[in-house]
Copies of this chain bind each other. A is one copy, B any other.
Amino acid sequence: MNTNPYKDITPKEVRKLIREEKITGQTSGMCAGFAQANLCILPKKYAYDFLLFCQRNQQSCPLLEVSDEGSRFLKTSASNCDIATDVPKYRVWKNGGLAGEYSDVSSFWRDDLVTFVIGCSFSFEAPLIEAGIDVRNISENHNVPMYLTNIDTNPAGIFSGKMVVSMRPIHYSQIVKATTITARVPKVHGAPIHIGSPEFIGIKDISKPDFGEASTIKEGEVPVFWCCGVTPQSVVMNSKPDFCITHAPGHMLITDIPETFLQN
C-alpha cells in the first residue's frame, strides 16, 4: 500500500517543495503514476561518449531527454523545472570520487554542462500496486535496495563499468504479472534483468544493499531485479570523468510524464 503523503499531489507541486528544501528525502511513492528520473550531468567534452553509452545500454540508461548544452531547463520531461534545484539530493563527483552531497547544485553550474534524464523504476511502482503487488520499499516506507552486480555494461568511449540493479521481493505467484506490467515500460527500465538467484549476478548478501536500504523478504517471495539508473554512478566511479553531477540514489527528479504515456 502507498501511504506516502505526497502520493496524490502534482509533480509541479512536489518540485516546488523540493526547490524550497521542504522535501529532502527519497522519492519512492511520490506523485503516483508519474515517471521519475535519474540524472547524470556531464561537461560537453564527455557528452558524446555518454550518449553513446546510453545507446549501447538502453535497459540501464533509457533516455527520457537530453538537455541543450549549458541549459538548466528541460523541454519535454518537466515544465518550469530547474535542474540544479529540483532534485532532493545531488552528488558531485570529481575524478570518479564522491566530492559531496548537496540539496542545490546552482553554485556548481557551468555553461558546458549537458543533462541526461534517465528513466527510473519508481515509475512503474504505481501500476504494480494497482495490480495487487506489494512494493516493499513503499509499504515499508524506505528507499529501494540497490546492488552493484558482476554484469559488465557495453563500453562506449571512456565509459565502462558494472551494472547496478534495484530489487523488489515479489511473491512467487505474482512474478509473471510483475514481469508483464514492467515489460510495457522499457523507458523506465522495463522487464526484470534477473529473477531469483542474487549470487548469479554477483550479489553476495541480499541483506546488505550497496545503495538504499534493505527490504524484508517474506516467506514465498523471490528477489526480482530490475536495471537501475544508478548504473551511471558505478560507471563514473570506474571511468573517472573530471567532473560530474548526479542525483543521490533514490532521490529522483519527478517528471510531468504520466507512466501510461511511456507504455508500449
Contacts and interface: CB of A to CB of B under 8 A. Distances in A.
A183 interface: yes
Contacts of A186: 264
* Number of chain copies forming the complex: 2
Interface of A: 47-48, 51-52, 54-56, 63, 66, 183-184, 186, 264
A246 to B, nearest CB: 19
A35 B168 CA distance: 35
16 contacts: A47-B48, A48-B48, A48-B51, A51-B51, A51-B52, A51-B55, A52-B66, A54-B55, A55-B55, A55-B63, A55-B66, A56-B66, A183-B264, A184-B264, A186-B264, A264-B264
A183 B54 CA distance: 23
A225 to B, nearest CB: 20
A47 B52 CA distance: 10
A63 B58 CA distance: 11
Contacts of A56: 66
A51 B50 CA distance: 11
